[in-house]
């Protein structure tokens, strides 16, 4: 009987062993299939800083500022050297980033907060909404600054101090561990100027969000004003240097948080299937950059790491703009959007190239910053030539409240200085209708060729390009050329 029981146990043992092996076999198969499923839909992180120009990144040539984590991203990805926002204003730029359409066509003319109250038309479909429709988990953290929410809807809204980039990264842990492909829109307040904007006394530098006690978990990196690099469009004064030192410190805080986020991404096992994009909404928050359409205001950092790409550490000279970001991200996610008419186009196929053909023109369109700052400008840059049309050129150029109060501006204005950087103060405040520059020979945009007879043909050619751009993108300010009201409704029978 004992012998019989002994042999009866053999099939039971075999069944148990087979069942265990089957479980492990299924686990192995699932683990093998997971990467294939992930590869079909990559995760996407769009990291957007606030008022960060190409002037303050190690990978863009600044040897003073410490940005090791962002420099590493450039080493592992692609660094664009001709990337442009379309409006050097926070809210207006962000609307373009998330829609692929110029603000003049969506109602996103300027700021959304307080009495400014500009808002995107409610029939516009934004990037997070389109991604959610295709199964992406969408989340945002930090600065939002677009409206209305139903147009720019994210499934998750994460809360953290937008100046503490490490805290922000830590709040993203669950998103980074998601079982679904995710789109994380990570937007810092740094290095925007800090409140209050008005310093007492006037020559004290703005804080740029820095605090004497620092931020929990964030390494504080400070800079000596004598060591900073003063761009040529700014006056080299003590006040300017002190403000740039604060600006640098704020950017190093961004870098620390970015490094934290990348470490968490790797720990979550998602680094090999996540596209990471670093950009800024507009240039540094100094007069001559932010709110202008001069190069320091609109030419910005853009670093993209796509783990599936074959090239690393490359430089791309293609002219791209933030109007191209939404169609590019959707293309990278292999999402077709033939029913959406973007103003930009995908640059996915040329990311790994250095000087791709057909990418030698960008446009910009700025109308407002604050509601009191009406000064519409349209821009065409074609190869080395750049045309600025100052539509309201008879007005004095308006100042953003934080830039007017800056000790950098006040250091010249209070002393009745003749020059602000390379440009005459009067030329900064009172601008001609047209500004035409050859950026190859005049990168500082000082010598206006628009009224030089030798450049008459160039000027007319650029004007025609601008008119075409305005027609193609339904720009209401087309009417300012020849009272052309073709884009305007009649107002009858409303």
- The answer to whether the beta carbons of residues 310 and 77 sit under 8 Å apart is no
Segment (H or E) for 49? strand 43-49
Segment (H or E) for 378? strand 377-382
> Cα(163)–Cα(177) distance, rounded to whole angstroms?
24
Q: Are strands 361-366 and 377-382 parallel, antiparallel or unpaired?
A: antiparallel
HSE of 174 in the Cβ direction (CA atoms, 13 Å)?
10
Cross-strand partners of 23 = none
Place of tokens 């509601």: 371
Place of tokens 């009866």: 8
What is the spatial order of strands in the sheet that 78-84 belongs to?
A: 156-158, 137-142, 182-187, 43-49, 274-280, 299-305, 78-84, 314-321
Distances (CA, A) of 414 to 112, 407, 409, 418: 32, 10, 8, 11
Q: Which residues of 231-256 are buried (b: 16+ CB within 10 A; e: fewer)?
A: bebbbebebbbbbbbbbbbbbbbbbb
Residue 378 φ/ψ, nearest 5 degrees: -125, 145
> Cα(177)–Cα(335) distance, rounded to whole angstroms?
22
**Assigned token pair, 145:** 């600054």
**Active site annotation includes 90:** yes
Distances (CA, A) of 379 to 294, 412, 461: 10, 28, 13
**Assigned token pair, 453:** 């007879």
Segment (H or E) for 404? helix 401-405
The one catalytic residue among 26, 85, 90, 172: 90
- Cis status of the peptide bond prior to 191, with omega within 30 of 0: yes
Write the DSSP symbol of residue 400.
-
Q: Does residue 248 sit in helix, strand or coil?
A: helix
Nearest Cα to Cα of residue 317 among 291, 353, 286, 344: 353
> Cα(27)–Cα(489) distance, rounded to whole angstroms?
62
> Cα(276)–Cα(73) distance, rounded to whole angstroms?
8
Residue 468 φ/ψ, nearest 5 degrees: -65, -45
Q: Which residues are part of the catalytic machinery?
A: 90
């Amino acid at each position: 009987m004992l012998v019989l029981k002994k042999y009866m146990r053999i099939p039971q043992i075999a069944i148990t062993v087979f069942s265990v092996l089957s479980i492990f076999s299924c686990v192995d198969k699932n683990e093998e299939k997971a990467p294939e499923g992930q590869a079909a839909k990559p995760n996407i992180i769009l990291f957007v800083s606030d008022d960060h120009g190409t002037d303050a990144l190690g990978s863009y040539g600044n040897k003073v500022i410490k940005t090791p984590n962002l420099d590493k991203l450039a080493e592992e990805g692609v660094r664009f050297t001709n990337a442009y926002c379309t409006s050097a204003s926070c809210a207006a730029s962000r609307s373009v980033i998330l829609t692929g359409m110029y603000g003049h066509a969506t109602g996103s003319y300027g700021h959304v907060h307080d009495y400014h109250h500009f808002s995107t038309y409610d029939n516009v479909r934004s990037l997070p909404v389109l991604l959610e429709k295709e199964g992406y988990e969408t989340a945002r953290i930090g600065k939002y600054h677009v409206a209305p929410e139903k147009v720019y809807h994210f499934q998750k809204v994460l809360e953290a101090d937008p100046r503490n980039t490490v805290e922000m990264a830590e709040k993203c842990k669950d998103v980074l561990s998601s079982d679904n492909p995710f789109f994380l829109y990570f937007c810092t307040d740094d290095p925007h100027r800090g409140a209050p904007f008005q310093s007492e006394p006037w020559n004290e530098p703005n804080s740029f969000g820095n605090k004497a006690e620092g931020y929990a978990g964030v390494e504080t990196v400070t800079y000596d004003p004598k060591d900073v690099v003063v761009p040529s469009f700014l006056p080299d004064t003590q006040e300017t240097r002190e403000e740039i030192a604060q600006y640098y410190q704020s950017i190093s805080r961004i870098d620390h948080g970015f490094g934290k986020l990348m470490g968490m991404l790797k720990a979550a096992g998602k680094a090999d299937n996540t596209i990471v994009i670093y950009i800024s909404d507009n240039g540094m928050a100094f007069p001559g950059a932010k709110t202008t359409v001069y190069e320091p205001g609109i030419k910005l950092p853009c670093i993209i790491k796509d783990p599936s790409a074959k090239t690393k550490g490359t430089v791309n000279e293609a002219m791209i703009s933030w109007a191209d970001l939404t169609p590019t991200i959707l293309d990278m996610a292999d999402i077709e959007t033939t029913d959406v008419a973007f103003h930009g186009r995908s640059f996915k196929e040329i990311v790994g190239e250095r000087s791709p053909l057909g990418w030698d023109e960008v446009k910009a369109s700025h109308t407002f910053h604050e509601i009191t700052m009406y000064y519409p400008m349209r821009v065409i840059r074609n190869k080395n030539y750049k045309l600025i049309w100052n539509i309201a050129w008879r007005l004095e150029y308006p100042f953003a409240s934080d830039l007017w109060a800056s000790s950098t501006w006040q250091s010249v204005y209070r002393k009745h200085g003749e020059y602000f950087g390379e440009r005459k103060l009067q030329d900064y405040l009172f601008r001609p209708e047209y500004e035409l520059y050859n950026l190859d020979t005049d990168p500082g945009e000082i010598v206006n060729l628009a009224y030089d007879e030798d450049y008459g043909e160039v000027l007319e050619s650029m004007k025609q390009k601008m008119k075409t751009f305005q027609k193609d993108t339904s720009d209401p300010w087309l009417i300012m050329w020849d009272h052309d009201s073709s884009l305007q409704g009649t107002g009858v029978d409303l």
